[in-house]
């Protein structure tokens, strides 16, 4: 079988997203596609931009910096690249917060008050209000990072009160499973935590959840951002 082209993959992902939204009675426009470009080269990112993608997610600060700078060099007086958004989706070390605020429109992975303070401090220095999500750890077998759900409310209250941060929502990565239905209860749990926080007066419009293997289930459960790599760019080497 012929491997599908990047354009075909993007088309398929968009259609699957729309259908999932409609199944859940949601407006497909509510769900943003974050194209995850870790390990993907600048040439392919260009192709994805030409195909209409505008939001890109990277999980490492250094790798993102190199690509963003290389892409910037493609813009000349006669040719402007379209405006893109870059999101940090991977774990952020405190000592890289300074670079993260220079590079990213949204940081999905705030997992402690200390990290939030560091980001806020560097945002103030460059005169920026940094948009962030708080990453939640929903189960012990999940990734190492994320705020324990039992501590979530006080952490959200603190992050929301920081002057140079704008808390926009929550992010989570459920434990890996071959069966996307296994992730449903985690996505539902994240939505319920969001609703509980909103009931306490903390607005959290964004839910970043769902990857190549389970983004449709995530959309059915309320995702507003899905982070999709493999289904767009193919298997990572």
Ligand X SMILES: *Cc1c(COP(=O)(O)O)cnc(C)c1O
How many residues belong to the chain? 237
The distance of closest approach from Cβ of residue 180 to ligand X in the complex, given in angstroms and rounded to an integer, is 11
When asked if residue 117 is in the footprint of ligand X (CB under 6 A), the reply is no
Least gap, CB of 62 to ligand X (angstroms) = 15
> With 0-12 CB in 10 A as exposed, 13-18 as middle and 19+ as buried, what is 218?
buried
Instruction: Measure the CA–CA gap between 48 and 81, rounded to whole angstroms.
Output: 12
Task: Specify whether the CB–CB gap between 79 and 109 falls below 8 A.
Answer: no
Task: Report helix, strand or coil for 94.
Answer: helix
89 near ligand X, judged by CB under 6 A: yes
Q: Does 31 bind ligand X (CB under 6 A)?
A: no
Place of tokens 């000349």: 76
**Closest approach of Cβ 36 to ligand X, in Å?**
4
- Per CB under 6 A, does 36 bind ligand X? yes
Q: Which two tokens stand for residue 72?
A: 């910037």
- Residue number with the smallest Cβ distance to ligand X: 229
Site for ligand X in 158-217 (CB under 6 A): 173, 211-213
Give the Cα separation of 13 and 27 in Å (integer): 16
Judged by beta carbon, residue 12 or residue 230, the one nearer ligand X is 230
Q: Where are the beta strands (DSSP E) in 82-234?
A: 85-88, 106-110, 130-137, 147-148, 165-171, 206-208, 225-228
Question: Which of these ranges, 126-134, 150-158, 187-195, 221-229, lies near ligand X under the rule CB under 6 A?
Answer: 221-229
- Among the listed ranges 64-72, 188-196, 199-207, 224-232, the one in contact with ligand X (CB under 6 A) is 224-232
Burial of 74 (0-12, 13-18, 19+ CB in 10 A): exposed
Does the footprint of ligand X cover residue 90 (CB under 6 A)? yes
To the nearest whole angstrom, how small is the minimum distance from the Cβ of residue 91 to ligand X? Answer: 9
CA 223 vs CA 72, 79, 216: distances in Å: 31, 35, 9
Q: Which of 169, 180, 222, 229 binds ligand X (CB under 6 A)?
A: 229
Binding residue for ligand X, selected from 37, 59, 112, 123, defined by CB under 6 A: 59
- What is d(CA 204, CA 167) in angstroms, rounded to the nearest whole number? 7
Of the pair 106, 173, the CB lying nearest ligand X is at: 173
- Contacting range for ligand X; rule: CB under 6 A; set: 22-30, 47-55, 112-120, 223-231: 223-231
Q: Does 152 engage in binding with ligand X (CB under 6 A)?
A: no
Q: Is 18 in the site for ligand X (CB under 6 A)?
A: no
- Residue 55 host element (H or E): strand 55-58
Residues found near ligand X in the complex (CB under 6 A): 36, 38, 59, 89-90, 173, 211-213, 227-231
């Amino acid at each position: 079988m012929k491997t599908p082209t990047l354009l075909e993959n993007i088309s398929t992902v968009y259609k699957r997203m729309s259908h999932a939204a409609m199944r859940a009675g949601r407006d497909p426009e509510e769900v943003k596609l974050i194209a995850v470009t870790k390990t993907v080269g600048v040439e392919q990112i260009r192709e994805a931009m030409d195909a209409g993608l505008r939001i890109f997610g990277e999980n490492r600060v250094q790798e993102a910096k190199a690509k963003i700078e290389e892409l910037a060099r493609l813009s000349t007086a006669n040719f402007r690249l379209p405006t893109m958004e870059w999101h940090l989706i991977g774990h952020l070390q405190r000592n890289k917060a300074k670079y993260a605020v220079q590079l990213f429109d949204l940081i999905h992975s705030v997992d402690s008050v200390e990290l939030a303070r560091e980001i806020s401090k560097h945002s103030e220095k460059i005169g920026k209000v940094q948009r962030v999500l708080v990453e939640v750890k929903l189960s012990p077998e999940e990734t190492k990072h994320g705020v324990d759900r039992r501590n979530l409310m006080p952490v959200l209250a603190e992050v929301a009160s920081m002057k140079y941060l704008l808390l926009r929502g929550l992010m989570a990565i459920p434990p890996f499973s071959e069966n996307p239905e296994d992730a449903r209860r985690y996505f539902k749990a994240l939505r319920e935590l969001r609703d509980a926080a909103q009931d306490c007066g903390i607005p959290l419009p964004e839910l970043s959840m769902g990857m190549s293997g389970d983004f449709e289930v995530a959309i059915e459960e309320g995702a507003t951002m899905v982070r999709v790599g493999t289904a767009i760019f193919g298997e990572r080497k």
